[in-house]
Structure 1
């Protein structure tokens, strides 16, 4: 198979200490690539460098910047779940805009992958048949997120969905406009991720919710109750899909990552 990014190349992974980001770095390293992980505070996540260099060899992972890299996987996003769209969405859009433009100006970078979400495409319509393609966007979430205040707590999930929708729309807009035309661009749109952790200090994100339910954490239980029917996917599979989207030129539009449906039910003792 012809690949866009040769093995041995250095790949930037943003949010490399996160739940998915660390798995993406792990899969890249296991596939023969080197990784530069970008994080907000390198001193606080020195453990990621120690973990990967011990596992894959000294110099295989470092926390540095774009020059000299061949690809970028942008995993990091705003997961504060703030209910005010003005405090969340512009920053997410600015983040992908800045990183894509910077990558386009770096001659060595050939391929760019954005971690989006299935929620950027649609929220799911139980019992309905409809076409899922590159023209489908979650306009309902965007409308709900930007509705007039008050910005109450229950609006947070729609703000998050809208941030994913509008950030991915902006990315494709930049690519199609020609501003970043020299980059191969793809998005991966995973649904609810579950699966193992690589390190005790790793950000646990959606995987931590499963642990919370098992430990009877009320916040985790309430979150799952609010989901209704959902689709899940293993976080390791999602990480592997990011590597495929980065290196395989046959992947041209993006990958929707969903495995099987689930629904949270409360079991009552007899």
Structure 2
């Protein structure tokens, strides 16, 4: 599925050749957002915190799409006054992927405040720039629910992870036992605040959020790019950090290229007010291990303990509708994502 050429079911509301801003363009998700936009026929301006360290992005996209299609700009402080005026100037759409919060958040309110400073600044700048027609915010599936093995739950676009917010704020619970619940709480509060901003400010652009779960797939430049969750496939391959992987509860996953295509469709097809789950199929690291064993039968792998199965039912037809809008009939399988993640990492190491 992931290698199906993008073909719009209807003429896009934002014309091909228009300029789209992608923040945090060096990350796993954002780099695939940029890649899919370029493949669709758009131009991309990507922001990074350090342009010199991320120069590989320009060479990667030039090799794929030629000169004058991708522009790299530095935004070292997402919340600095006036920092978005230059990057936003002349763009037709914005994919806001960069975030401030670390996975192990120590202070939820402080992390929310820091994230919102940058996001409100970006949103306000976008509102004042007449060229901007669409804005897509990156949230997280964890903003909707906390994955729990073997616990049935129904998730809809109206779901919010209030459980994480409550537990993260509970002073009677030790910080070390909260795990990533504070990070989940940040995602809830930030996404809600941005929806509130849109309702209050009534900007002239469409606004949608994408809530990806564990993202796996090929790394665009495995020699230079941080692998993020795709790199965990190689932890299994190499028998590294198995304690971390064993503690990773079963949940849902999505191919990085499918994630990129959700952004393309949400940006340019005119949909508005959608929360879009990036959840293709149920996933566990034991399933990933089974795939690696089939793909590399000559290699010995260390087994993981069984930590159950995800039983969340996600009720939304919006994600597949967006994929169909760009010519893709269904999700890329976990098996294909794992194969391609491993292949990209191994080719870089060769």
Is TM (by shorter chain) over 0.5? yes
Q: Work out the CA distance in 1 between the residues paired with 2:147 and 2:218.
A: 26
Q: Gaps spanning 5+ residues in structure 1: where? A: none
Corresponding residue of 1:262:
283
Q: Work out the CA distance in 1 between the residues paired with 2:102 and 2:197.
A: 26
* Correspondence 1:169 to 2:162: no
* Correspondence 1:236 to 2:257: yes
- Secondary structure of 2:146 counterpart: coil
Q: Work out the CA distance in 2 between the residues paired with 1:185 and 1:72.
A: 10
Equivalent positions of 1:60-139 (< 5 A) are 60-64=69-73, 65-78=87-100, 80-85=102-107, 86-124=109-147, 126-133=150-157, 135-139=158-162
Deviates more, 1:226-235 or 1:106-115: 226-235
Question: Is the 2:207–2:272 contact (alpha carbons within 8 Å) kept by the matching residues of 1?
Answer: no
Q: Structure 1 pair 109/151, CA: closer, same or farther in 2 (3 Å)?
A: farther
Q: Work out the CA distance in 2 between the residues paired with 1:21 and 1:256.
A: 16
Q: How many residues align?
A: 265
Deviations 1:125-158 (A, max 9, x none): 644353512x311111122223338874453511
Q: Gaps spanning 5+ residues in structure 2: where? A: 1-9, 74-86, 287-301, 305-350
Q: Structure 1 pair 16/66, CA: closer, same or farther in 2 (3 Å)?
A: same
Deviations 1:10-44 (A, max 9, x none): 01000100111111100000000000001111121
Q: Work out the CA distance in 2 between the residues paired with 1:163 and 1:121.
A: 12
Task: Using structure 1 for the length normalisation, give the TM-score.
Answer: 0.90
User: What is the deviation of 1:243?
Assistant: 0.4
* Correspondence 1:141 to 2:141: no
Q: Structure 1 pair 154/45, CA: closer, same or farther in 2 (3 Å)?
A: farther
- Secondary structure of 1:68 counterpart: coil
Selected match of 1:18 from 24, 27, 30? 27
Q: Structure 1 pair 77/153, CA: closer, same or farther in 2 (3 Å)?
A: farther
* Correspondence 1:34 to 2:34: no
User: What is the deviation of 1:173?
Assistant: 0.6
Q: Structure 1 pair 154/127, CA: closer, same or farther in 2 (3 Å)?
A: closer
- Secondary structure of 2:303 counterpart: coil
Larger Rg: 2
CA RMSD for the aligned pairs? 2.2
Q: Structure 1 pair 95/149, CA: closer, same or farther in 2 (3 Å)?
A: farther
Corresponding residue of 2:58:
49
